[in-house]
Amino acid sequence: MGIAVEAVIALVKIAVVLGVVSLVVAYLTYLERKIIAHIQQRLGPMRVGWHGLLQPIADGAKLFLKEDIIPDKADKVVFVIAPIMVLVPAFVVYSVLPFSSTFYITQVNIGIFFILAVSSLGVFGIVMAGWASNSKYSLLGALRSAAQMLSYEIFLGFSIIGPLMLAGSLNMQKIVEAQSDVWFVFYQPLAFVVFFIAALAETNRVPFDLPEAETELVAGFHTEYSGMKFAFFFLAEYASIMVVSTVAVTLFFGGWQGIGWIPLPGFVWYVLKLGAMIFVFIWIRATLPRYRYDQLMRLGWKFMFPLVMANIFLTGLVKFLFL
Amino acid sequence: MAGQLFFYFLALLTVAGAVAVVALPNPLYSVLSLVATFLGLAGLYLSLNAQFVAVVQVIVYAGAIMMLFLFVVMLINLGREERQALRLPVQKLAGTIIGLGVFAGLVNLYATTPLLTGAKGLFPAARLAEVGSVQAVGRLLVTQYVLPFQAMAVLLFVGIVGAVVLARRRAR
């Protein structure tokens, strides 16, 4: 009996998180268009609903009703599986994210590691999409994306080791609890900078959006996709932005912990911090030009890699000597 | 009961994936099947309470190494005729003999060694929940198994140096 009740509770939680995340992700696209528009002194979407508030729903309906085209020369099976392979890992990760001190789907001892592992599977979908489309632009986009994500995954992984050494745990809840006095961003500023840059590259965002560089590759790996399959790639991209932002908030900004004595529930703090983080992502997209491929690799291996290594060494030294 | 069900599902996934790797005609499908096999293996580790090993299996093998395989297969992208031409005549025979040999060895091992199940060993489930699998693996790596660990580091370093040397010679 106990197991059945637990299973039902877990299913309800999963349904709630899935529903809310899907809706929030849809509205992230609206937020992005609006913020970029205002940064560029435009108005952005204004027609559907008050100040275009219903725009994401209209877009969703449009994509849902659109004809689903599979190119003749494409590898049909892989072409259909690819968008699913991108979307599923992006959403599975939400199962271990700590939304507040009491609300989470499950606690895993190796939470942060689980997130890294599952999100590293998303790149398979991108590469499969690029190969299955049987188009030069898609293949080039997919190859770029694979090389980029493989290299920057390394920096992402190494940059979180510093904060993890301070927390002494891989459990997301315990990492948050370890920051009740001081946020780790003050102890680990270097790690945060590297983490943030690597996160931009992992999510294929400006200035590292080479895999879908519209000026050279049409749309990169999803050039040949249309309708709901295209929407899947889109949703997965924004879902992973939310995931890396959550990891950043959890590891460096104290997760659901509040500031000072302001009495707000943990969940509100989490949402506020997450919102600020996502705003920075969008802000950067409106501000920076794109990196060239060789510049991307040089920045990674010659600058960020030594930096994270030095950071791990210093953190270990300080911890060994003073703590 | 539920645990057993999971085991059979994961075992089926692992074995079916492994069979598909050698049976499928397209090398890209083979790579994807191998990914499925590795994910099944990771699931099996997870059900054995080895969370850290499971996650490393996904990150290193399913994530990074298979990605490189996929990369090479996609870049070369051979047609059916070219693949046929690459086949050695003795390949099938040699593969069968080696495969059967390994299988016989495994059967022999299974028949002669008593099986350890459950709470034996240095880190049974209860102790693992107490110390955490990362700490357990980490401590063993730098104490009991420090020599193999360092030897592996040297091996990887040699690999990196070799790659750099090869790449430089090409550039000149």
ipTM of this complex: 0.77
Residues of A in contact with B32 (CB under 8 A): 78, 124, 128
Q: Do A127 and B62 touch (CB under 8 A)?
A: no
B151: pLDDT strictly greater than 60: yes
Please compute the mean of the pLDDT values over residues A178-186 and round it to a whole number.
Answer: 81
pLDDT digits (tens, 9 = 90+) for B11-62: 999 999 988 888 887 888 888 889 889 989 988 888 877 788 888 888 888 8
Domain total in chain A: 2
- The answer to whether the CB atoms of B68 and A169 lie below 8 A apart is no
| Cβ contact A170–B134 (<8 Å) | yes
Instruction: Check CB contact under 8 Å for B63 and A142.
Output: no
Q: Residue B169 and residue B172: Cα distance in Å, rounded?
A: 5
Residues A316 and A194 in one domain: yes
In angstroms, the CA A281 to CA A290 distance is 14
Q: What is the mean pLDDT of residues B138-150?
A: 87
Spatial contact of A84 and A14, defined as CB atoms under 8 Å apart = no
Report the CATH number that the domain containing residue B34 is assigned in CATH: 1.20.120.1200
Which 3-state string (H, E, C) describes A200-244?
Answer: HHHCCCCCCCHHHCHHHHCCHHHCCCCHHHHHHHHHHHHHHHHHH
Whether the per-residue pLDDT at B119 is higher than 60: the answer is no
Range of the domain at A316: 73-322
Q: With respect to residue B27, please indicate whether it lies within any of the assigned structural domains.
A: yes
pLDDT class for B116, splitting at 50, 70, 90? low
Q: For residue A170, give the chain B residue with the closest CA.
A: B134
How many Cα atoms within 13 Å fall on the side-chain side of residue A308? Answer: 26
Tell whether B144 is covered by a domain.
yes
Give the domain extent around B4.
Answer: 1-78
Q: Provide the b/e sequence for B89-114 (b: ≥16 CB within 10 Å).
A: eeeeeeeeeeeeeeeeeeeeeeeeee
Please check whether residues A79 and A28 belong to one and the same domain. Answer: no
The C-alpha of A117 sits at a distance from chain B's nearest C-alpha, in angstroms, of: 5
| A123 and A250 co-located in one domain | yes
Per-residue pLDDT tens over the stretch B128-139:
666 667 777 888
- Residue A81: what pLDDT? 84
Within a domain: B170 = yes
Q: Which residue of A has its CA nearest to B72?
A: A143
Domain end residue (candidates: B36, B63, B78): B78
Residues A49 and A80 in one domain: no
Q: Are residues A189 and A259 in the same domain?
A: yes
Nearest to A113 among B32, B55, B75 (CB): B55
Give the closest-approach CA distance of A120 to chain B in angstroms: 6
Q: Which residues of B40-67 are buried (b: 16+ CB within 10 A; e: fewer)?
A: bbbbbbbeeebbbbbbbbbbebbbeebb
Where a domain ends, among A65, A85, A108?
Answer: A65
**Geometric angle at alpha carbon A164, from A161 and A169, rounded to 5°:** 140
Q: Give yes or no: residues A82 and A147 share one domain.
A: yes
Cα distance between residue B56 and residue B70, in whole Å: 19
Please spell the DSSP secondary structure of A260-283, one letter per residue: TT----HHHHHHHHHHHHHHHHHH
Asked if A96 and A46 sit in the same domain, the reply is no
